[in-house]
Amino acid sequence: MDVITRRRFLIASGVVAGGAAAAGATLGLREILATAGDGDPAAKTLVLVTLYGGNDGLNTVIPYGDPALAAARPDFAYAENELLDLGQGEALNPGMTGLHKLFGEGRLAVVRGVGYPKPNRSHFQSMDIWQTAQPDRPGTTGWLGRWLDTAGGDPRSAISFEPVLPPLLAGASSAGATVPGGELKLPAGVTPDLLNALGAADEGESPARARAAACFSDLARVRDLVSAPLSSDDDDSDAPATATGGAAPPLDQQLALVARCIEANVATRVYSVSLGGFDLHADGKDAQKALLTKLDKALAAFAERVAGKNVVTAVYSEFGRRVKANASDGTDHGTASNVFLLGDGVQGGLHGEPPNLTDLDEGDLKFTTDFRDVYATLLRDVLAADPEQILDGWSTHLDKVLTG
């Protein structure tokens, strides 16, 4: 089919309107989705939300019923009437009203105590482990990159809205595409033919140079996936700043782009979005609540918008925080934490064993669910892939969390 005939002109959302004003655009707030209508209507979509910096799980899903928590963190406690109860002595952080509502409707699954053996407390190592799904020896490919390799390698299948490729989308023979701000409009005189010519493989090149070339042909394929200017407002200096954050557009804008792609039924199966700033070694309580509120608003709005469209969203961070607070009213690097799953087919409720707050490993929680069980579930039930092939032979998955 001719590319032109497949194009759809869609009215842009308010998010784009604000961004376009900032970017000085004049009229015609429209986007072009060239693969619109190409998606398999039965296929499900996975949206992976990475929280950079190590989100404090114990202050996200709060085991307020356990006296050990108040003993370890006297200054972190919320009043009981602020807490958003989930039952079983657990509650959501007061900033997360939207997700609390989804939980009440049976649409949010909280998997507790997710981690991996021999926890690594370095942000970078632990994030590598989560993104490669290789705790023993993180390699150079991400778990969704390896899925992409097995699913044909089309860069349009896996998209990130960040300027730099997250390792999780790097495969051995292919890579996901980055579409920051959703805009990939070609400059004057640059044609798809030119991109394909510069993207041709040339014998004897180093792997890096071959990848640089392949980016040109990837660009030729991806460029029209979505094209609309987003806010270039990067003045985020007043956002809670910490030393471990992603440099990405705001999460609500990333998710709005995902929603528009999904609404247009594009061929993409996996979206990677992120929110940074969770490394709160000091004065953590208020700053984390503000971040969780941001996360909650964006996720809840997204969940409403794509309900019924076969979308599953998963939210994780590289580790939780130490059970005991430090003197700066912050928390240091910890281990196991919660993973949130929401969307169509998700069986809401509390899943997995809550970690014991007093039986600790060097002051940190012991994990009760291996994160590869979560990935295997997503690969199997959302992407209809073979988890064992992608997860180095990992053969178990979560029960009763997702219906296939």
Partner 1 sequence: MTDRAQVSHLLRRLTFGPTAAEVDAAVRDGFDATLERLLRPVAVPQAPPMGEEPAAGATREERLEARKKQREQVVALGRWWLGRMAAGSAAEKLTFFWHGHWATSAQKVRSAHLMFAQQQTFRRYGTGDTSPLVRAMLRDPALILWLDGQKNTRKAPNENLAREVMELFTLGVGAYGESDVKAGARVLTGWQVDRTTGQARLVARRHDTGRVTLLGQTGVFDLDAYADLLVRHEAHVPFLAGRLWARYAGSFTVPGSVAAAGRNTTALLRAVCRAPEFAETAGTLVKQPVEWLVGAVRQLGIAPTGLDGTLRALGQVPLRPPSVGGWPEGAAWLTTSSTLTRLRAGQKLAAQSQEAPADPEALANLLVVDGWSDRTYAVLKEVRKPRELVALGLASPEYAVH
Binding positions for partner 1, 108-127, rule CB under 8 A: 120-125
Single-letter code of the amino acid located at 188: A
Query: DSSP readout, 114-183?
Result: EE-SS----HHHHHHHHHHT-SSS--SS-HHHHHHHHTT--GGGEEE-SSS--GGGB-SS-B-EE-GGG-
DSSP β-ladder status, 158-160 and 108-115 = unpaired
Residue placing its CB nearer to partner 1 in the complex, 180 or 387: 180
Q: Are 222 and 267 in contact (CB under 8 A)?
A: no
Show contacts with partner 1 in window 331-350 (CB under 8 A). 332-333
Least CB distance to partner 1 at residue 172 (A): 12
Toward partner 1, which CB reaches closer, 52 or 103? 52
Which of these segments, 20-28, 41-49, 294-302, 319-327, binds partner 1 (CB under 8 A)? 319-327
Considering only residues 347-376, where is the footprint of partner 1 by CB under 8 A? 362
Which one of 23, 43, 190, 301 is in contact with partner 1 (CB under 8 A)?
190
Instruction: Give the nearer residue to partner 1 in terms of CB position, either 129 or 256.
Output: 129
Does 38 engage in binding with partner 1 (CB under 8 A)? no
Cβ distance to partner 1 smaller for residue 317 or 377: 317
Other beta carbons within 10 angstroms of residue 261's beta carbon come to 26
Residues 123-152 binding partner 1 (CB under 8 A) are 123-125
DSSP string spanning 341-358?
EEETTB--EEESPPPPSS
User: Which residue in the set 24, 41, 117, 187 belongs to the binding site for partner 1 (CB under 8 A)?
Assistant: 187
Calpha distance 380→71 (Å, rounded) = 41
Q: Using CB under 8 A, which of 101, 216, 231, 347 touches partner 1?
A: 216
Number of residues that bind partner 1 (CB under 8 A): 74
Nearer to partner 1, 276 or 352 (CB): 276
Backbone angles phi, psi at 237, to 5 degrees: -65, -20
Pick 318 or 370: Cβ nearer partner 1: 318
Check residue 4 for interaction with partner 1 (CB under 8 A). no
Residue number with CB closer to partner 1 (235 or 359): 235
For partner 1, what does the binding mask look like between residues 267 and 286, x meaning CB under 8 A? Answer: ---------x--x-xxx---
Rounded CA gap, 394 and 397, in Å? 9
The two three-digit tokens of residue 127, written as one number: 């994030």
Residue 202 engages partner 1 in binding (rule: CB under 8 A): yes
User: Which long-range contacts link 81-86 to residues 24+ away (Cβ below 8 Å)?
Assistant: 86/61, 86/110, 86/350
- Please, what's the largest Cα pairwise distance for the chain? 67
Residue 209 in the binding site for partner 1 (CB under 8 A)? yes
Alpha carbon distance 280, 287 (integer Å): 8
Q: How far apart are CA 355 and CA 332, in angstroms?
A: 18
Q: How far is the CB of 111 from partner 1 (least distance, A)?
A: 26
Q: How far apart are the C-alpha atoms of 114 and 319, rounded to whole Å?
A: 9
91's enclosing H/E stretch is strand 90-92
CA gap 109, 119 in Å, rounded? 24
Q: What is the dihedral of CA 313, 319, 323, 326, to 10 degrees?
A: -120
Distance of closest approach, residue 215 Cβ to partner 1, in angstroms: 4
Shortest distance (Å) from residue 59 CB to partner 1:
17
Per-residue x/- mask for partner 1, residues 154 to 183, rule CB under 8 A? Answer: -x------xxxx-x--x----x-xxxx---
Nearest CB to partner 1, comparing residues 85 and 236: 236
Q: 50-79 mask for partner 1 (x: CB under 8 A)?
A: --xx--------------------------
**Footprint on residues 221-260 left by partner 1 (CB under 8 A):** 222-223, 232, 234-238, 241-247
